[in-house]
Amino acid sequence: MKTSRLLSFAAVAALLAATVQHAQAASVAGQINATITLVASCQIDNASSTSGGDVEFGTLDFGDQSAVFTSASAQVMGNASSGIGVRCSPGANATLSILSGAHDAQAGVGTHAMANGTHYIPYSIYTDAGHANVLANGAAVAITADGTTQNVALYGLAFGASGIVAGLYTDTLRLELSF
């Protein structure tokens, strides 16, 4: 019996030894593949824009004028201190253009018109403060696409006329930033 117990203990010990050998830690090395795909993009005054979205470009406020004014000028103001701040990724080939205004057919001497009911005040957009270079519908302003914010300065000139009715006149210009 002693021999059979001894053999049983020996068998159990051998089995445990075999199990311990297989329970030792193993290791495997591998890798993680990281990727990112960047697409050309632009930001208008820090509002990100990829493709197809609507963005607020700014306001053109001619302020309070006399109903007998002859002309009034103003600058388009974005969130930047003046002009529209545009930042595009390098190589984006960015351009900014005016598509149309809501009342362009009523513009008369201007390219666009602000409306108050059936009354209109014509105005045009220019790329210079001296109002020498009109930015016509569809004409593009090139934007340097180097990753830094570029200030696009646009100016408006409203034209007065006799018989203008006092009141608030408004228009909405559609712009397009292509890149």
Phi, psi of 7 (to 5 degrees): -65, -35
* Domains in the chain with CATH codes: 43-178 (2.60.40.1090)
**Contact call for residues 139 and 69 (beta carbons, < 8 A):** no
CA distance 169 to 118: 10
Nearest CA-CA partner of 177 in 101, 99, 96: 96
* pLDDT in the model for residue 24: 76
| Interval 61-112: pLDDT, tens | 999 999 999 999 999 998 766 789 999 999 889 999 999 999 999 988 889 9
Residue with tokens 């608030």: 168
* pLDDT in the model for residue 176: 93
